[in-house]
């Protein structure tokens, strides 16, 4: 029997890798984990956590403006970008320490450095090699920037959190969730925001009503959209940058951010050399057990480019370890995964979008939709509205899609996702007594379909 240094060697200390390492160690396995950047991965350091903190920061401008409608009188507040960055850094450092302590206390051997796979059972970090019965790759994703002239001048979501100073204006190239989230953040902090998107709308893949509604609300906040627009080149000058479009238009700006998607962070870690198959984008190809084309090497999370969400990576880590070391074959259910976009207003969504529902259930769906001005805005003076939408299969009365654009949409849709996974019908929603006055009660008071197919 071959003896290895470790039972499991994990490459990448993000959410999925850390969960897998801790669980395996807790089940008595000898585990090592290597990380060359920061504990917690993208989510903790340059993703979910700092983004949500910055969303909170940007919302105060509207809260201050709304206060007068409720009788509060105050002087105009000022904003200190450097203070926000410093406070964010302090919180991130705390979370990094939490991750490190969790690993150490679990008995995981923590290795700081870039790991590369030498063969099916060997990993090198620096000049030292480690053997393992199994290797798990959980290296996440990385911002993708196309080859545009002047790309050396741009920033991505990796750098935007730590700008030396807040710009007066920015061009954000892209129309995905990262683009719309940072558009809202920067707009709320007083930055003039222009979004350049090569498609006709933002948020491809989301429900069409959600896309249209969010565009309208973001425009009402002063964000400018330039659809069907591609960037040809970016030129630097003494006062900032000039963005040149393929159509010959130009726009002057203080900063250019590219939010044009993310790709699997799989390059340069020895995958090709040892025969691990990847797709053209670099995503590691795995089977239903997260096993690659090399049987002793596994992968999960964003590096596999399937469902790129932090809680999904965590669930995959748990499922893998349970199967390998606890003899539990419970797999991750990828249906009806709820998600949120922390745009302003927020998006919360779970289940099918209308176009997919119509294709799956032709002439058999009902659409319920409500658009209203939230109670708070009756006194705040804000014109921001909320939209809620429910998609129901008429013959079975089963709810197959729920979508919301409005304040706290993510918080509300989380509970709705539980109901949908339990198989709730429209009748169950109708018989549920609402909490009044809340926005969430609208989901249990929508009685008449607005569309029928």
**3-state class percentages of the chain: helix first, strand second, coil last, to nearest 5:** 35, 25, 40
The CA–CA distances, whole Å, from 109 to 100, 112, 122, 323, 326 equal: 10, 10, 16, 22, 21
The whole-angstrom separation of Cα 184 and Cα 237 is 27
Q: Which ranges constitute the DSSP H helices of 326-421?
A: 354-360, 377-380, 409-421
Scan for tokens 């923590």, then name that residue: 110
CB of 161 closer than 8 Å to CB of 54 = yes
Q: Which two tokens stand for residue 187?
A: 């707009």
* CA contacts within 13 A on the Cβ side of 88: 24
Q: Which two tokens stand for residue 355?
A: 């176009």
Q: One of 6, 226, 403, 436 is an active-site residue; which one?
A: 436
The whole-angstrom separation of Cα 177 and Cα 285 is 25
- Residue 103's φ and ψ, nearest 5 degrees, are -65, -50
CB of 248 closer than 8 Å to CB of 242 = no
The whole-angstrom separation of Cα 339 and Cα 347 is 8
SS3 186: helix
Q: Which two tokens stand for residue 213?
A: 């509604």
Q: Cα torsion at 312, 317, 319, 324 (round to 10°)?
A: 160
The whole-angstrom separation of Cα 408 and Cα 438 is 11
| Residue 121 annotated in active site | no
DSSP strand pairing (192-196 vs 169-173) = parallel
**Sign of torsion, CA 302 353 387 227?**
positive
Q: Which residues are catalytic?
A: 436
């Amino acid at each position: 029997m071959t003896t290895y240094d470790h039972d499991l060697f994990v490459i990448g200390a993000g959410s999925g890798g850390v969960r897998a390492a801790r669980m395996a160690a807790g089940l008595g396995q000898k585990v090592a984990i290597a990380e060359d950047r920061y504990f917690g991965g993208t989510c903790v350091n340059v993703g979910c956590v700092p983004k949500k903190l910055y969303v909170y920061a940007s919302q105060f401008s509207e809260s201050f403006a709304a206060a007068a409608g409720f009788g509060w009188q105050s002087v105009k507040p000022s904003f200190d970008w450097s203070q926000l960055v410093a406070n964010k850094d302090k919180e991130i450092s705390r979370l990094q320490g939490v991750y490190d302590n969790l690993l150490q206390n679990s008995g995981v051997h923590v290795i700081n450095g870039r790991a590369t796979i030498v063969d099916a059972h060997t990993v090198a970090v620096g000049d030292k090699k480690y053997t393992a019965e199994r290797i798990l790759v959980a290296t996440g994703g990385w911002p993708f920037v196309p080859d545009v002239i002047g790309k050396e001048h741009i920033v991505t979501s990796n750098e935007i959190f730590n700008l030396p100073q807040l710009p007066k204006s920015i061009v954000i190239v892209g129309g995905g969730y990262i683009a719309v989230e940072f558009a809202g953040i920067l707009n709320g902090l007083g930055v003039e925001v222009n979004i350049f998107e090569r498609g006709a709308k933002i948020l491809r893949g989301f429900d069409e009503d959600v896309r249209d509604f969010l565009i309208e609300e973001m425009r009402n906040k002063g964000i400018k959209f330039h659809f069907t627009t591609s960037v040809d080149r970016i030129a630097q000058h003494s006062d900032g940058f000039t963005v040149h479009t393929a159509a010959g238009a130009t726009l002057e700006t203080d900063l250019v951010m590219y939010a044009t998607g993310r790709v699997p962070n799989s390059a340069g870690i020895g995958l090709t050399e040892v025969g691990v198959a990847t797709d053209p984008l670099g995503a590691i190809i795995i089977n239903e057990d997260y096993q690659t084309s090399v049987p002793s090497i596994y992968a999960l999370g964003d590096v596999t480019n399937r469902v790129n969400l932090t809680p999904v990576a965590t669930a995959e880590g748990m499922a893998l370890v349970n199967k390998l070391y606890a003899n539990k074959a419970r797999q991750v259910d990828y249906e009806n995964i709820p998600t949120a976009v922390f745009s302003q207003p927020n998006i919360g969504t779970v289940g099918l979008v209308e176009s997919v529902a119509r294709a799956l259930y032709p002439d058999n769906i009902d659409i319920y939709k409500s658009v209203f001005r939230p109670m708070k805005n009756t006194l705040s003076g804000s014109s921001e509205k909320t939209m809620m939408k429910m998609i129901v299969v008429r013959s079975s009365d089963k709810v197959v899609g729920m979508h919301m654009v409005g304040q706290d949409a993510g918080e509300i849709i989380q509970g709705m996702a539980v109901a949908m996974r339990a198989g709730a019908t429209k009748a169950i929603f109708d018989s549920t007594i609402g909490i009044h006055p809340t926005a969430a009660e609208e989901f249990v008071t929508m009685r008449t379909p607005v569309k029928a197919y």
